[in-house]
Structure 1
Amino acid sequence: MNSSRIYAWAVNPWVVIGSLALGGGFGLLLPEMAQRLTVIGDIYVNLLKMTTLPFMVSAVIFSLQRLFREGGTARLMLRVVMVFLGASATVAFVGALVLLVLRPGINLPSSTMQTFGLMVGHDSTSSEVVMNLYGTDAVEKGVSLVDVLTSLVPTNIFAALANGDALKALVFALLFGLAVGRVPERISAGLSQALETIYHACQKLMHWLSYPLPLILFCMSAAQLGKSGMGPLHAMLQFVIAFFVASVVLLSLAAVVIWKRSGRPLGATLTALRAPFALALATRNSAACMPSMIESMVERLGFPRARVELMVPLTISLLRIGPMVYYVCATFFIAQLYGHSLGVVEVCTVLFASVLAGFASAGMTGLVTVSLIGMTCAYLSLPFEAAFILFLAVDPLCDMLRTLILVIGNTAAVSVICPRPLKI
C-alpha cells in the first residue's frame, strides 16, 4: 500500500468515526488502562502545534507580499469584512433557531435535575454567599473591548512565539507582511524563498502526521471516556443533542457553499474536505488544521494559492464562528434551564453578545473559551457560575463540534472571499 492510499484511509470519515467509537468502548470497559493513553494524544497534539506558528507566520507574510505585487488589496479587504459579518450573523441565527425549536432546557426529567444538583453543588434557588472577612470583596474582572484590543498587539514578538500566542503572532505577520510587500522585489527575494521553504516543510510535516490518525483517535477517545465516563453526557444529553443538530446544519450549509463556489462535483468536494474534517476531530485545534485546509482548497478544489494562503490563517484566527454558535446555544440553554423567558429584544441581545464573545475568544482555547459564556449571560443576568461545571463536563465533545464548525465553516468563508477556481 503506497503513501497516498494510507493517507486516504487514515482520513476516511468512516475510519475516523470507527476509531472514536472503538476508543470510547475501550475507555468505558477499561477506564484505568485507557487513562494511561492520554500521553499519546498529548504528544500528537503538541507535534501539530509545534508547526502551527512557523507555518502561519510564513504563509501570511509570503501571501501578503505576493498580494501587494498583484494589486487589489483594498477590494479584497472589503470582501473580507462583508463575509465576516455575514458568516457571524448566519451562525448566530442558526444556533438561536435550533435552541428555540428544540428547547433542550425545558421540562427536564427529575433524574436529570438531580444530576445537575450533584454536579453544581447547589440549585438555582440557593442563597449561598461567599464573603471576604478581611479587606474589600474581590471584584471579578470582565472581558472588555479595550482588553481585547490591547491583547492583540505583541510587545515582544519573540516572547509571543515562545508562549505560543497565535493571535499576537498573526498581528505581527500581518503588519510585517504589509511592510515586506512595499520593499522592492530585488531586496526581498531572499526572504520570500526562505518563507516558502518553511511553509512547504511545515505542510509536509503535517501530511506525515496524518498517517497515525486512527490510532491517535482511538487513544484520545479512550482516555477521555475512561476519565469522565457517561454520567456527565447523560446529564447534559439534551444540550449536546441540540448543539449537535446546530452543528450539522451549519456543516451542511458550509459544504453546500464550498460545492457551489468550487464548481466541482459534490462527491469530489466532500472528498477534498476529508483531511481537515478528520484533523479537526482528532486535534480539536483549528490552527493545526490550516495546512490541510490550504492543501484541500488549492490542490483538490483549485482555488488560487495566494489568496487561500492569506485568508485561511486570517479567518481561523479572527472569524470564530464555532465559539459564536456555541455561546448562542449555551446562553439559550441556561435561560431555559432557569425558566427565563426571552423576548425579541433579549434574543437579539444574546445574538449580538455571542458574536462579540466569539471575536473575544480569538486565541483562547479550552476552559477559557467556555468561561466566556458568562459574558453573554451577563446581559440577561443569568447565573452562569452555577452551570459552569455542567458545560465543563461535556466540553471535550462540544469542543470537537466547535472545531469542526470553525474549520469547515471557515473553509466556506475563504471560498466566498477567493475568486472562483477555473472549471476543469
Structure 2
Amino acid sequence: MERIKHILGSFWTIIFSLFLGVVIGIYAPGIATVCEPFGDIYFKLIEMACTIMLPIIIISSIGKIVISEGSSGFVYKILIALFITFATISGISILSSIIVSPITAPTSETTKNLGKLIINSQEKNQDEPVDVLKSYYFIRELDTEKEVQKKDTGILKIIADFFPNNIFESLANKKTVEVLIFSIIFGLLFKYIPQLTCNSIINLCDSLFEAFNTFLTILLYLLPFGIISLISHQTTGLDFSVLFSLIKLGERIALVFIVIFIICLLVIKYNSRKSFVEIFKALKEPMVLSFVAENLVAMPSLITAMTEKLNFNRNKVGSTAPLWMGMEIHADIALFAAASIFTLQLYGIPLGFNEIMIIFVGSIAAGLSSLGAAAVLWVALIRIILDPLDIPSSPIILALMLFEPFFNGLLYLLNAVISCAAVSILAREQKPKEKASLDKEEIAVPLKY
C-alpha cells in the first residue's frame, strides 16, 4: 500500500499525467469528454475542502499572533509587505522585459499575424453575435470599454468592493478576497475577546483544519487521475497555431515569468537554508495543484509544505500565505508590465522614464482592478496602462485573450511561487525542532497541525 502511495505521489507520475492529459486532449477528444466528469467531481471535492480551510487557517493563525504579547504589529507588517510585493514584481517585470527585448522584439511578421487575427476575429463576431466570450475571440471595442469603465471607478471604489456584506454569499460565490478580509478582521478581534474564549475558538479551528487536511491528503492520492481528466478537457479544441503566429509575445511573457520564478526560488532558498532539490520536493505538490487547478486548491498543501518541510513558523505562514495566494494578481501584474513594453515596441515608441513610470504604476493598478474581473475580460484592463500612453489597445487585448487559455496555468503557478517567496521573508524566523514546545507555551494555545 505504501509503495502505491509513493508511486502515485511521485514527481514523474505527475509529469506523465500532465503529458498524457495533453495527448488525450489533442488526439482523443472523445476520451477527454468521458473523463471530464471525474475530473470535475474530483476538483470540486478539493475546492470544497479548501474553501472551508481558507477562513479557518487565517482566523486561527492571526488570532494566535494577536493574543501573543508584542506580536500584533506583525499584522500591519503583512499589509505593508503586500504592497511592497506588488511594486517589486512590477519593477522586476519591467526590467526583465527590457533585458530580453532584443531577442523577443516584435517583427514585421508579428504585426502581419496580429492583423490577420483581428480580421478573422471580427469575421467571427459577425457570424456569432451572441456568446462571443465562450470562444476566446476578440470582444467588440464597445464591450471592453464598458468593462474597463465599470472597473476603473477609482481606487476607493475598488477597495470598497473588497468588503463583504454577507460572508456566506462570499463563500458560496468563491469571492476569495472578501473571505480574506472577513477572516483577517475576525482574527484581529481576538485581542478584545477573553483569553479562555480565544483558546476555545482556536482549538476548534485547529481541529477542523486537521480534519479537512486529512480528507484532502486522501484525495491527493488520486491527483494523477484528476490531472489527466482536467488537462485532457482543457486542451481539447485549443488552436495551437495562435502560439506560433504570435510566438514573440509568448516568448516575452514566458521569459519574464522564468526570471521571476528563478528570483523567487533564490529568495526561498536564502530564507529556508535548504537546497534547490529540497525546495522542489517540498513545493512539488502545491505547484502542480496551482498549475492544473487554482491557488485556492493549492493553499493547504503550500502551508503544509512550508511549515513541515521547510520549517517556517506555522502561525506566520498561516496568516500570510492565504492572503498572497488569495489575491492571485501578482502574475497578472507581471503579465501587464511585459505585454505593455511589448506593445510599445510593436508601435515603435521609444521607452523613456515617463513611459516606464506609467507602466510601473499602471500595471499595479490594472492588477488590483483585475480582482473579481470576468475570466477573459480581465486582460482588457491593460488599457489602464496603454490609454495614458496614447497607444491603441485593441491588438494586444486580442492577443492576450487568445493566449489566456495557454498561460492560465502558468499564471496560477507563478502566483504560488511568488507567494512562497514573500511568505518565506515574513516567516523566516524558523522554529527549531528543539524549541517547538517553547513556542507553543508562548502562544498559550495548543497547536494541533
Identify the TM-score tier after normalising by the shorter chain.
0.7 to 0.9
What TM-score do the two structures reach when normalised by structure 1? Answer: 0.87
Tell me if the contact between 1:280 and 1:407 (Cα under 8 Å) persists in the aligned partners. Answer: yes
> Could you say what secondary structure the match of 1:366 adopts?
coil
Q: Write out per-residue CA displacement over residues 156-212 of structure 1, whole angstroms, 9 at most, x where no aligned residue.
A: 222222222111111111111111332112233332222112211222232223222
Structure 1 unmatched runs, 5+: 123-128, 132-136
Aligned to 2:210: 200
Aligned to 2:425: 416
Aligned to 2:362: 353
C-alpha distance in 2 between matches for 1:209 and 1:139: 40
C-alpha distance in 1 between matches for 2:289 and 2:172: 24
Q: Write out per-residue CA displacement over residues 50-105 of structure 1, whole angstroms, 9 at most, x where no aligned residue.
A: 12231111111111221122133453245334533443233222322333233335
User: Paired residue for 1:384, among 390, 393, 396?
Assistant: 393
Tell me if the contact between 1:120 and 1:390 (Cα under 8 Å) persists in the aligned partners. Answer: no
Tell me if the contact between 2:231 and 2:292 (Cα under 8 Å) persists in the aligned partners. Answer: no
User: Paired residue for 2:42, among 41, 44, 54?
Assistant: 44
User: Paired residue for 1:332, among 337, 341, 346?
Assistant: 341
2:299 is the alignment partner of 1:290: yes
Tell me if the contact between 2:65 and 2:72 (Cα under 8 Å) persists in the aligned partners. Answer: no
2:311 is the alignment partner of 1:302: yes
2:180 is the alignment partner of 1:180: no
C-alpha distance in 1 between matches for 2:218 and 2:388: 46
Q: CA deviation at 1:273?
A: 1.1
Once the two structures are superposed, the pairs formed by residues 237-276 of structure 1 within 5 Å of their partners are: 237-276=247-286
Higher mean displacement: 397-406 or 220-229 = 220-229
Aligned letter for 2:403?
V
User: Paired residue for 2:95, among 94, 97, 115?
Assistant: 97
Tell me if the contact between 1:120 and 1:386 (Cα under 8 Å) persists in the aligned partners. Answer: no
C-alpha distance in 1 between matches for 2:34 and 2:402: 20
C-alpha distance in 1 between matches for 2:50 and 2:417: 18
> Could you say what secondary structure the match of 1:273 adopts?
helix
**CA separation of 1:281 and 1:192: change in aligned 2, threshold 3 A:** same
> Could you say what secondary structure the match of 1:414 adopts?
helix
**CA separation of 1:82 and 1:226: change in aligned 2, threshold 3 A:** same
C-alpha distance in 2 between matches for 1:236 and 1:7: 42
2:398 is the alignment partner of 1:400: no
**CA separation of 1:70 and 1:223: change in aligned 2, threshold 3 A:** same
2:246 is the alignment partner of 1:236: yes
**CA separation of 1:350 and 1:109: change in aligned 2, threshold 3 A:** same
Aligned to 1:126: none
Once the two structures are superposed, the pairs formed by residues 190-229 of structure 1 within 5 Å of their partners are: 190-229=200-239
Tell me if the contact between 1:255 and 1:412 (Cα under 8 Å) persists in the aligned partners. Answer: yes
Q: CA deviation at 1:238?
A: 2.2
Tell me if the contact between 2:21 and 2:227 (Cα under 8 Å) persists in the aligned partners. Answer: yes
**CA separation of 1:359 and 1:224: change in aligned 2, threshold 3 A:** same
C-alpha distance in 1 between matches for 2:418 and 2:371: 16
Aligned to 2:122: 121
**CA separation of 1:23 and 1:209: change in aligned 2, threshold 3 A:** same
C-alpha distance in 1 between matches for 2:220 and 2:382: 33
Aligned to 1:27: 25
Aligned to 2:178: 168
> Could you say what secondary structure the match of 1:106 adopts?
coil
> Could you say what secondary structure the match of 1:121 adopts?
helix
C-alpha distance in 2 between matches for 1:310 and 1:365: 28
Tell me if the contact between 1:64 and 1:178 (Cα under 8 Å) persists in the aligned partners. Answer: yes
> Could you say what secondary structure the match of 2:429 adopts?
coil
Higher mean displacement: 146-155 or 216-225 = 216-225
Q: CA deviation at 1:332?
A: 2.1
Structure 2 unmatched runs, 5+: 124-139, 434-449
> Could you say what secondary structure the match of 2:150 adopts?
coil
**CA separation of 1:11 and 1:87: change in aligned 2, threshold 3 A:** farther
- Cα RMSD of the aligned pairs, angstroms, is 2.8
What TM-score do the two structures reach when normalised by structure 2? Answer: 0.82
C-alpha distance in 2 between matches for 1:373 and 1:48: 32
Q: CA deviation at 1:311?
A: 1.0
Aligned letter for 1:121?
Q
Percent identity of the aligned residues? 22
C-alpha distance in 2 between matches for 1:360 and 1:206: 32
Tell me if the contact between 1:12 and 1:278 (Cα under 8 Å) persists in the aligned partners. Answer: no
Q: CA deviation at 1:118?
A: 4.1
Aligned to 2:441: none
**CA separation of 1:191 and 1:365: change in aligned 2, threshold 3 A:** farther
